[in-house]
Each structure stands twice: as structure tokens, then as C-alpha cells.
Amino acid sequence: EVQLVESGGGLVQPGGSLRLSCAASGFTFNNYWMSWVRQAPGKGLEWVANIKQDGSEKYYVDSVKGRFTISRDNAKNSLFLQMNNLRAEDTAVYYCGRGTKDYWGQGTLVTVSS
Amino acid sequence: SYELTQPPSVSVSPGQTAGITCSGDALPKHYAFWYQQKPGQAPVLVINKDSERASGIPERFSGSSSGTTVTLTISGVQAEDEADYYCQSGDSSGTWVFGGGTKLTVL
């Protein structure tokens, strides 16, 4: 059974940092692109970042470029999102997903507030 | 980046057919995908690559494409189909974009 479990969310002050993790199981992790998508409270889905199977290609939405970094550890079947210089508008539930879009985790809430 | 435009809401009576459109200039060149999301839940892929029904999705869900518009059609709508629906596509730079979402109300 494919499972994606996010962790690492929480309350952080503006300008702070958080590192989200996504533990993958039930499939051959290094065969898939992986993605992060977020959803602000009461708002729609927003794509955040994609990473290729070997980590050689990474893409970001403009609003997080230079602040967020997507990475992966294929040996540990894990996906990460390092979020620096966080802003109030980054407050959202963050979902990790398989690049084929068919499996998503249940999300982890990030709240940026003083 | 570019935008995908969806109607904010669609209402339909049970048993009727609902159509949700998504428009974007790049859609003739890139596949569209449709997701269903119910309150408090993660999104669920319902349509893959314009018109392929995702695994486990009922046959009443279908997708089609014409020019710069793709359409999600739900035939014989059931109460359990009430949800938010999002289209999503990509571009040649490896990025994704989501439509603003459509709230489907089953009257």
C-alpha cells in the first residue's frame, strides 16, 4: 500500500525556518518525481515545488524561489522541504505527492505568525 | 507562468449531469488533470491526462479537451460527489499550475 506521511509542521514566527519531511512507503521511491503542494486556510490548492527522481532537476513556484528548497534522500525514501524566511502568506497545509499525482499525504500544517 | 480559469461554483440536482470547465492558453500543449477534494481531506486524482479516469474512480466521471478548454463531466451526480474540484496542468519549464477550484453543490 502506497503511503506518504508528512511531518515537521508547526507554529513559526515570520522570518523563521521549518523543515518538512515526507516519508514514503509502498512503492519504489527513486522511480518517481515528487511534489509539494500547499493550501492556505479556506483557499485553493497551490503547487510549490517538484523534484526529479535523482534530484538533478528542481522547480519552484515564483513566490518561494530563493526561500524554499526541495530535496530528497532516496536511500531513506524521504522527501523534504526546507522553508526559510517564512512569511504569513506561507501559512498553509503542505501536502507531499507522487509526481504521477495519484497519491498524496494527509498534509502538515504550517502556521507563520508572531 | 500562466493561469487556469474555473467557475467558482456549479450546482446540480442529484441524477443530473454536471460539467466543470477549465480554461488556459497552454492546455492545447499540456495535459490537464482533475482532483476532487472534500473538506478536511487531501486531494484525490479523478482524471489523468485530460481524459483517463484514475484508478478506483467511478465511471460517471469523465474528462474531455477542446482547444484551450478542458471539461470534467460527472454524469448522474450523487450526493457524495459534492466537493471542490481543481484542474491542474503544467508547462514546458517543469512547473505546475492549479485552477482556482470549483465548488460543486448537489441540490
pLDDT digits (tens, 9 = 90+) for A21-57: 999 999 999 999 999 999 999 999 999 999 999 999 9
Burial of B39 (0-12, 13-18, 19+ CB in 10 A): exposed
CA-based nearest distance A12→chain B, Å? 22
CB pair distance less than 8 Å for A102 and B54: yes
Burial of B26 (0-12, 13-18, 19+ CB in 10 A): middle
CA-based nearest distance A42→chain B, Å? 10
Residue B2: pLDDT band (50, 70, 90) is confident
Rounded to whole angstroms, how far apart are CA atoms A34 and A109?
19
Which of B37, B96, B104 would you mutate first to test chain A, the one with the most A CBs within 10 A? B96
Rounded to whole angstroms, how far apart are CA atoms A70 and B18?
38
CA distances from B65 to A52, A63, B24 (A): 28, 30, 11
Question: Mean pLDDT throughout A84-93?
Answer: 98
In chain A, DSSP assigns E strands to 3-7, 10-12, 18-25, 34-39, 45-51, 58-60, 68-73, 78-83, 92-98, 108-112
- B57, β-bridge pairs: none
Chain A residue with the nearest C-alpha to that of B95: A59
Question: Mean pLDDT throughout A76-86?
Answer: 98
Q: Around Cβ A84, how many Cβ atoms within 10 Å?
A: 14
Indicate the residue of A59, A101, A106 with minimum beta-carbon distance to B45: A101
CB pair distance less than 8 Å for B98 and A62: no
Chain B residue with the nearest C-alpha to that of A102: B45
